[in-house]
Amino acid sequence: MDIDVLTNLGPKNKNLLNKLNIYTLNDLLTYYPYRYNFITIKNINEALDEVVYINAIVLSDIKVNYIRKNFNILSFIASNNNINFKVTIYNRAFLKNALYLNREILLIGKYKKINNTFIASDIKFNIFNNKIEAVYHLTEGLKLANLEKYMLEAIDKNIKIDDYIPNYLLEKYHFISKDIALKYIHFPHDIKEIKQAKLRLIYEELFIYTFKLNYLAMLNKRAKGLKKDFLVEDIDDFISSLPFKLTSDQLKTINDIINDLKKENRMNRLILGDVGSGKTIVAVVAILANYLSGYQATFMAPTEILARQHYEALTNYFHNYDLKVALLTGSMRKKEKENLYEKIKKKEIDVVIGTHALLNESLNFASLGLVITDEQHRFGVNQRNILQNKDGHGQADVLYLSATPIPRTYALTIYGDLDISQIKTKPNMRKEIITKVKTEDQITEVLKAMLEELKQNHQIFVVSPLIENEEETNLKSVNLLKEKLTLAFKNLVRIEVLHGKLKQKEKDALMEDFQKGNIKILIATTVIEVGIDIPMATMMVIFNAERFGLATLHQLRGRVGRSNLQSYCYLISNTKDNERLKVMEESTDGFYISEKDFEQRGQGDLFGVKQSGDMNFKIASFQRDYKILLQTSQDAKEYLSSSKYQENKLYQEIINQINFLD
Ligand code: ADP
Ligand code: MG
């Protein structure tokens, strides 16, 4: 039902609701609050320097002092519980007429006992009882009170809202019905109601999600692909010609891939391997097998530097083969690109490595057999689909690489539509990164250590995290940090700041300059992207380390230690949370660290896991609700295999839409 049916809704507010993507009553009712205000009415003598709600009666005339333009103070005497006190409130001169003698009001603010004054932040005329107030993300011009009014009217209409939780599961978990859940979520009487409603709505959302995922997995398993024909001996020869011995997990993963390629079904495999675990060489072997079977391959990376790095590596690995590798990036000239398109179409090129530029419509292959996406989480579903269908029939084998070490059960759930190979063992030629947790007053130690590295012409990453909603302060604080470091190192080295406001191009340029060694210290406010090798970067210094989850810290630390030089990581924190950070001193195993993180915080830090744009949850969160997620995953699988879903109209609709979505 369209929101037009709401009698109270005028055109202006209708537009504002549309801005929030609310068009139907269903949209409105599933526009959930992000938090609640718990309003408990107190007596004035219970008010202890905290924000309180107090019922009061106006006892005096209202005085307004106009101090200057846009600044006035309104004050009067009020009474609560037989105590008289003064009330002041800023910039509410317009309330003067509403505040007449003996009017009952609700005051919100803080009471200062010393001068018997209540400093109000708000005065209301309608609520006089304990209440829980839902708070929503609004848009400019839309008042909370109005949204509440529409919500209430929508609920009163008692329209039927589809419930996606199958009946037997509703019963099994004693979930409340959807209509009641919607009432509770918007107008709860107590915390219990909020909890009941949330649990049920989150479960529903995650159930639908995992159902789709498992359905897709089923389709994927059935999808016809290309049966590749090559000799495993040729692959073995290549592997033995490598300058290093592959780890057991690398070999196991290669084996998985070989089996996939030889099968008639389309390969849909994700390689989950920690930073530096050597995923690239596995991809290289897959490319070789694909080439020996007579097919072309394409390899997409999120940045130009990374693409170039892969290009160089591949050219190197294949120098004994008649295998032609090409690089395609956005910065190439039109003419060059068109030339390349021609060659690819004529199969004069066997492997094309590139950035998003690979998605260009004009790029078509003669016989594409393998599609690889590096740092998979950096691309949206659509982008990945475009690339996968570049062969024209949607049959090319697909391989994703991802540096997100997360617990296995969890990975199986969120990547339920893919087969997974994990690379846990790392090549052991490298020195372990030495990690130390320091407090801010130990900063001189850190500066000394930094100086040592600079003296050896090594490079340093400094990370100073964002404080949400405080862009200006952030920029100021990193610029201050830059000044301090410049001063500390006597202007001898080039220090630059990489922050989120920069354009991707500018970021790439800075990274490139850093990679070339022109910049010695790179201060980053954003999480430095994964993937690039900067062998001379031997130190990572992270300020306010307590703000990051362990998985994120681990990823950041992985930017260094990518050569045989000894590398260091300093985690600077001033909170008592140092215990948690100690895990980082103990281990450099990403899977171990992420398990610990899930254990300790009861929620995961899912750095590098699918980006939010991939799934727009209205109420669920992968991070917070991962336990529910694991449950829904199991339940959805059961539901799918029971075939009950075939009689459920709602799920038939979902299935019909899946084909468009993915
Ligand atoms: P990531 O998994 O982070 O993408 P890379 O594939 O870039 O890691 O590998 C990191 C480095 O380790 C590369 O320089 C690569 O040549 C090297 N490497 C990969 N496998 C091995 C191995 N088995 N033994 C020694 N070095 C290896
Ligand atoms: Mg990599």
Is residue 244 within 6 Å of ligand 1 at its C-beta? yes
- Name the residue with the closest Cα to ligand 1, atom 18: 278
Is residue 535 within 6 Å of ligand 1 at its C-beta? no
Q: Which two tokens stand for residue 343?
A: 């060659």
Q: pLDDT digits over 241-274, tens only?
A: 999 999 999 999 999 999 999 999 999 999 998 8
CA of 317 to the centre of ligand 1 (A): 13
Report whether pLDDT(238) > 60.
yes
- Name the residue with the closest Cα to ligand 1, atom 12: 278
Contact 495, 482 (CB under 8 A): yes
Ligand 1 atom, smallest distance to 277 CA: 2
- Name the residue of 244, 425, 431 whose CB sits within 8 Å of the most ligand 1 atoms, as the mutation to test its pocket: 244
CA of 328 to the centre of ligand 2 (A): 18
From the CB of residue 445, how many other CB atoms can be counted at a distance below 10 Å?
A: 12
Contact 99, 105 (CB under 8 A): yes
Nearest to 599 by CA among 564, 630, 626, 562: 626
R_g (Cα) of the chain, nearest Å = 30
**Residue-level pLDDT at 429:** 66
Q: Which two tokens stand for residue 535?
A: 């062998």
Is residue 281 within 6 Å of ligand 1 at its C-beta? yes
Looking at the CA of 301, which ligand is closest? 2
Q: pLDDT digits over 523-575, tens only?
A: 987 666 655 678 899 999 999 888 888 888 888 898 898 888 999 999 999 87
Nearest to 182 by CA among 197, 203, 160: 197
Ligand 1 atom, smallest distance to 533 CA: 7
Instruction: Tell me how far apart the alpha carbons of residues 64 and 160 are, in angstroms, rounded to a whole number.
Output: 51
Strands across the sheet containing 368-373: 325-328, 351-354, 296-300, 368-373, 397-402, 268-273, 419-423
Q: Which residue has the tokens 């409105």?
A: 28
Ligand 1 atom, smallest distance to 275 CA: 3
Is residue 427 within 6 Å of ligand 1 at its C-beta? yes
CA of 279 to the centre of ligand 2 (A): 6
Instruction: Tell me how far apart the alpha carbons of residues 622 and 603 are, in angstroms, rounded to a whole number.
Output: 9
Q: pLDDT digits over 375-415, tens only?
A: 877 777 677 778 888 888 889 999 999 887 777 777 888 78
Contact 438, 445 (CB under 8 A): yes
E strand or H helix at 339, and its extent? helix 334-345
CA of 11 to the centre of ligand 1 (A): 60
Ligand 1 atom, smallest distance to 429 CA: 25
Provide the whole-model pTM: 0.74
Q: Quick one: pLDDT band at residue 160, thresholds 50, 70, 90?
A: confident
Q: What percent of the chain has pLDDT over 90?
A: 60
CA of 242 to the centre of ligand 1 (A): 12
Is residue 297 within 6 Å of ligand 1 at its C-beta? no
* 3 state SS of 588: coil
Length of the chain: 662
Nearest to 511 by CA among 532, 485, 493, 525: 532
The residue-averaged pLDDT of 623-634 equals: 88
Looking at the CA of 272, which ligand is closest? 1
Is residue 108 within 6 Å of ligand 1 at its C-beta? no
Q: pLDDT digits over 450-508, tens only?
A: 999 999 999 999 998 765 555 666 666 788 888 989 999 988 899 999 887 788 788 88
Q: Which residue has the tokens 């062998």?
A: 535
- Looking at every residue in the chain, the average pLDDT score rounds to 89
Give the DSSP letter string of 184-229.
HHHS-SSHHHHHHHHHHHHHHHHHHHHHHHHHHHHHHHH-B-----
Looking at the CA of 283, which ligand is closest? 1
Q: pLDDT digits over 42-101, tens only?
A: 898 887 778 899 999 999 999 999 999 889 999 999 999 899 999 999 999 999 999 999
Q: Which of 333-342, 404-413, 581-590, 594-603 has the highest mean pLDDT?
A: 333-342
Pairing of the two strands 52-58 and 71-80: antiparallel
Is residue 94 within 6 Å of ligand 1 at its C-beta? no
Is residue 285 within 6 Å of ligand 1 at its C-beta? no
CA of 91 to the centre of ligand 2 (A): 57
CA of 528 to the centre of ligand 2 (A): 14
74 strand-pairing partners: 64, 89
Give me the domains of the chain, ranges plus CATH numbers. 1-40+130-159 (no CATH), 41-126 (2.40.50.140), 232-262+277-402 (3.40.50.300), 434-587 (3.40.50.300)
Instruction: Tell me how far apart the alpha carbons of residues 57 and 79 are, in angstroms, rounded to a whole number.
Output: 5
Instruction: Tell me how far apart the alpha carbons of residues 568 and 560 are, in angstroms, rounded to a whole number.
Output: 8
**Residue-level pLDDT at 375:** 81
Nearest to 510 by CA among 525, 489, 488, 491: 525
CA of 450 to the centre of ligand 2 (A): 27
Q: pLDDT digits over 174-220, tens only?
A: 999 999 999 999 999 999 999 999 999 999 999 998 998 888 888 88
Q: Which two tokens stand for residue 28?
A: 């409105």
Report whether pLDDT(445) > 90.
yes
